[in-house]
Amino acid sequence: MKPVVIVGAGPAGISAARTLLDHGITPCLVDESARGGGQIYRRQPPNFQRSAKQLYGFEAGKAEAVHRTMDELAPLIDYRAETLVWNAEDGRLDLLKNGRAESIEYSQLVVATGATDRILPVPGWTLPGVYSLGAAQIALKYQGCAIGERVAFCGSGPLLYLVAYQYAKAGAQVVAVLDSAPFSAQCRALPALLGQPATLAKGLYYRAWLTAHGIPVHQGATLAQIDGEQRVTGIRWGSRTLECDAVAFAHALRSETQLADLLGCEFAWNALNRAWLPQRDSAGRSSVNGVYLAGDGAGIMGADAAQMAGERAALAVLEDSGIAIDQRRTAVLEQQLAGIQRFRHGLETAFPFPEQWAAQAPDNLILCRCEEVSVGDVRAVVDEGHWEINRVKAHCRVGMGRCQGRMCGMAAAEIVAERSGRGIDEVGRLRGQAPIKPLPFGVEVQP
C-alpha cells in the first residue's frame, strides 16, 4: 500500500505527521536535515550542550515542544532523515540518501518545504565572509560558531533583528544593523501588527535590546557595497563606511516552491509575498489531486502558522480519505491562520521591498554567481527584446547553475521588469527543473 508522504520536517511537516498518526495513518516523513525541527527550530548536534534558552531565546518552549514531538514520532513512523527529494513525477518522489538514489511512490503528498533567504546582490557579495541571514543563523545554531569576529547585519525583515540579537546574545561582536526599511514605515504598520501583540512585543524587544547594548541600528540604510579583496573588510551605505570582517544580509524570505512546480501545481502571483506561489485552498489542497501544501513553502507566514497549516493539511488528507475529523477544529485553525495573514500584511508594510534596487544595480554586478552572469548581461538580453524570464534565462544562462535560480531567480526577475518597463508580475517565473538541488557525481542507483 502506498503511504502518505510528507516532505519537510519543520513545524508544518511535524505537525502534519503527528495529526495523521493520531488518526491511525502512519506517514513517511522525508527531510534533508539530520534532526527534525526545520530552520527556525534547527537542532544542534547531539554532542553539543547549549541550552534551549541559549539557542532559541523566547522560542525555547516552542522549540522544545516541536523537538519532543519529533522524538516521539521518529520510531513510530517511516522517518527518513538526511534524505533529499530531488525530483517528482508520475506519483513518485526521487530521493538521495548517503549517495544512493531511490524512489518512493505515494498515495497522498504533503509538501512542507519551507523557505530560504531572498537575496538582492550588492557589489562585493561574492567575497568570502558574506553570508545570508539564514546561513549565519545555521552557523550559530548548528555549528556553535559565529561567521566572523566583527559582523554586520544588513537587509530588511524580522529575521534581520532576530539573528543580530542571537549573535549578540551569544557573545559575538555585532558592529551594526542596517535596516533598509525607514522607521516611518514601521510606525505606519503598527495598527496591523497589534493583531499579534506577543509577536510584536518580541520584535520590539530585539530592537530595543540591541540599542540598549550599544549596537548601532541604522533605519532607512541600504547596503551599497561590501569592501574587500581576498575577503570582507568593510561595508558602505550612503556616504558612510564601517570596518567588519563578515556580513549577513537578506531581504526577507522566499518560499521554496520548486517541488510544487515539478508536481504540476498551478501558480498565481501573490503581491503580499512579491512572488509566484502554488495555489491552495483554505485547507491546504493544491490544484493537483492528492497534493497538499503547508507552511512557508506555500507563502511566508512564520513558524506558528506553519504548525497550524500542517495540522490543517493533514486533516484535509484524512477527510479526503473518508476518515471523520473534527470540523470545529478545522474552523478554529482556519480562523487563526486568517488572523496571522492580517499580521503578515502589517509586516510587509513595516519592511517594504526596496523597489529601487533594480534601477540602482550597476551593470558589472554579478547577479548569478553559479554562471557568472552580471546585471549588464541580463539587461543586454532585455534590450534585444526578450522580457519573459525563461527566454532571458535561455539567452544568458541566468538561473541555470547549481542553485537552479533559487538564489538569483527573483533578483533576475526584478532586473528584467525594471529594464523592460513591465510589472514584476508580468515577466513570469522561472520554471522548476530537476534536480531541485545539486546531486553529486557517482550516485548509486538502488535497484
Mean pLDDT of 219-240: 96
Q: Which has more confidence, 54 or 443?
A: 54
Q: Residue 46: what pLDDT?
A: 86
Mean pLDDT of 140-151: 93
**Do residues 7 and 112 lie in contact, with contact meaning Cβ atoms separated by under 8 Å?**
yes
| Cα 248 to Cα 117: distance, rounded to the nearest angstrom | 11
| Cα 147 to Cα 75: distance, rounded to the nearest angstrom | 35
Residue 107 burial by Cβ neighbours in a 10 Å radius (0-12, 13-18, 19+): middle
Question: pLDDT band for position 48 (50/70/90)?
Answer: confident
What CATH superfamily is the domain 119-251?
FAD/NAD(P)-binding domain (3.50.50.60)
Mean pLDDT: which of 10-19, 335-344, 396-405 is highest?
Answer: 10-19
Question: pLDDT band for position 446 (50/70/90)?
Answer: low
Mean pLDDT over the full length of the chain:
94
Q: Residue 212: what pLDDT?
A: 97
* Residue range 56-91, pLDDT digits in tens: 888 889 999 999 999 999 999 999 999 999 999 999
Mean pLDDT of 274-282: 97
Judge if 4-116+254-323 and 119-251 fold alike in CATH terms: yes
The CATH-assigned architecture of domain 357-420 is Orthogonal Bundle (1.10)
* Residue range 325-382, pLDDT digits in tens: 999 999 999 999 999 999 999 999 999 999 999 999 999 999 999 999 999 999 999 9
Is the model's pLDDT at 230 over the cut of 90? Answer: yes
Residue 214 burial by Cβ neighbours in a 10 Å radius (0-12, 13-18, 19+): exposed
**Do residues 343 and 198 lie in contact, with contact meaning Cβ atoms separated by under 8 Å?**
no
Is the model's pLDDT at 305 over the cut of 60? Answer: yes
CA 271, distance to chain mean position in Å, is 17
3-state secondary structure of 317: helix
Is the model's pLDDT at 140 over the cut of 80? Answer: yes
Is CATH 3.50.50.60 the classification given to domain 4-116+254-323? yes
| Cα 372 to Cα 406: distance, rounded to the nearest angstrom | 15
Question: pLDDT band for position 165 (50/70/90)?
Answer: very high
3-state secondary structure of 338: helix
Mean pLDDT of 303-328: 97
Question: pLDDT band for position 192 (50/70/90)?
Answer: confident
Q: Residue 49: what pLDDT?
A: 83
Is the model's pLDDT at 444 over the cut of 90? Answer: no
Mean pLDDT of 265-269: 98
Mean pLDDT of 397-409: 92
Q: Residue 239: what pLDDT?
A: 94
Domain coordinates of the chain in residue numbers?
4-116+254-323, 119-251, 357-420
Cell of 411: 533578483
